[in-house]
Amino acid sequence: MATAKNEWWRGAVIYQIYPRSFHDASGDGLGDLAGISEKLDYVASLGVDAIWISPFYKSPMRDFGYDVADYRAVDPIFGTLDDFQHLLEKAHRLSLKVLIDLVLSHTSDEHDWFTQSRQSRDNAKADWYVWADPKTDGTPPNNWLSIFGGGAWAWEPRRRQYYLHNFLTCQPDLNLHNKAVQDQLLSDAAFWLDMGVDGFRLDAVNFCTHDPQLRDNPPLKPGERPTDGVPLDNPYAYQRHLYDKTQPETVHFLKRLRALTDRYNARATMGEVSGDDSLTIAADYTRSGDRLNMAYTFNLLTQTFTAEHLRDVVEEMEAQIDDGWASWAFSNHDVARAVSRWGNPGDGEFARLLMALLFSLRGTACLYQGEELGLAEAEVPFERLQDPYGKAFWPEYKGRDGCRTPMPWQGSADHAGFSTAEPWLPVDPSHLELAVDRQDHLPGSLLNAYRGFLHWRRTQPALRFGSLTVKESEAPLLIFERRCPEQKMLAVFNCGPEPRDLQLEDSQDLKALDGHGFTAALENGTLRLPRYGVFFGGMNNEVQQEVSGNGIEGGTNHG
């Protein structure tokens, strides 16, 4: 089953680059665009299809680029527009697509738009941000909260009004109910599309519009699930976010954005969605072929790792997604690295299991820089902390710096070969033994396991484009059936630290696939899975019928 060339993103693997921490070519301790260009051959060697670059726009960097001061300018710490053009051209020569982060819900308070908007109630940009009068007692207009702590409203004495900020106080929310704001954002997106980018990752996309009536959010009821990814020591987790985000008007704007990208050839949009029911939102934002191409949620970026949780999330997404398309990630720049978050740092077999799981889900996979090295969450002492989120909630929550430390390129070099100067965040000593040069030519390394698996995956149409059915199994086993016209496949994952046996009925026509690097064995109808083991088997039509008819029995311990 081949996909249309302009749908290159279906079943693709996207490698996320956090530019401050990837590679520093200028020697100032901060990663930059030239540093990314220098390392693109390495990225291409992994077998990924695209890169996603976190923001590099002009910014005061209070939220490290997610507070944009100019959508069309590169911040000098990262280089110049010419540096980006060079990066784009080199990536395309290496057959890598390039997505860039686009922050549409808010700007920096140093953006010219906000500088003008805050001056008065009657200037040309007066309605470009979300302004509201105080209550009669001077308090904010409602109970909305900021994810980064405290209320979501800040006072502006010149207007005698509050402005909305769902994130930091210095990140005022744009008013996308104003068509002029939408028009300007679409024009800025077109600037990058004209330059040749292959699409956008859309930050916090369901925050783009708010309830115009400014109604209070209700409290979370007992038993209701809080917003995914928000720790319970944050008061934001105690509201149902019915009115401060995920409003119907956002879909209208996404349709306008899709109409813009569809005017270009083979462009893609990937939205970040968080909410009390984020899987439903992701499905809604990607259905009908006129909204986002794909969306990802925080459901697999949480603290929970069990076969049951994975099965529930995948089944719920499959039930919701309809004709939409999911994107999946286990790690990114906002959460603790998966091998630490899920409790197995330093366990190479567990890291390999996560690799196989991520790349076997139906959808597009996002791989975060250093994930292919097995990097654990770094320890960053309070005095070196940079993240304002971490500073606000220390010590119960240490923020996002631990997943943003420099990429280790050379185990014996100063600063792990990331820079010739002291980096903006310290290199964790435990990362040195996992550096690229330590793993590059080691046949059994995790890095080479990623390379081998991703190149093998390209030859497996069922994993890239096929349907997915979750089969009955006993924990800690997780079983998928992937199917497309060219191929039927059974994928079995042992999510536990002990070996397991699985009895398969009528397995004579189930053929173990090789070339993926895993060693589970099928012997006389018994599948023997080592700890955190994985099995991929090709099926013919007869075996397909048996599996569909519950021909798989529960697993038992062995060994």
- Is 371 an active-site residue? no
Which runs of consecutive H residues, i.e. helices, occur in 342-445?
348-358, 388-393, 436-439
Q: How far apart (Å, rounded) are the C-alpha atoms in residues 219 and 244?
A: 13
CA angle (156, 160, 166) in 5-degree steps: 45
The residue annotated as part of the active site, out of 272, 277, 318, 371, is: 272
- Using alpha carbons, list the distances in angstroms from residue 453 to 13, 97, 329, 518, 526: 12, 20, 17, 9, 24
User: From residue 406, how far is each of 355, 445, 552 by CA, in Å?
Assistant: 21, 20, 45
Known catalytic residue: 272? yes
Kindly provide the residue ranges of all beta strands, DSSP E only, lying in 83-145, ordered along the sequence. 97-103, 131-132
> What residues form DSSP beta bridges with 199?
99, 268
Element (H, E) at 191: helix 179-195
Please name which of 267, 273, 119 lies closest in space to residue 192, comparing C-alpha atoms: 267
CA-based torsion, 335, 338, 344, 345: positive or negative:
negative
Closest by CA position to 372, among listed 336, 411, 331, 328: 331
* Catalytic residue chosen out of the listed positions 24, 109, 173, 203: 203
Distance between CA atoms of 435 and 373, rounded to whole angstroms? 7
Preceding peptide of 395 cis, ω within 30°: yes
CA distance 183 to 168: 25
- Residues serving a catalytic function are 203, 272
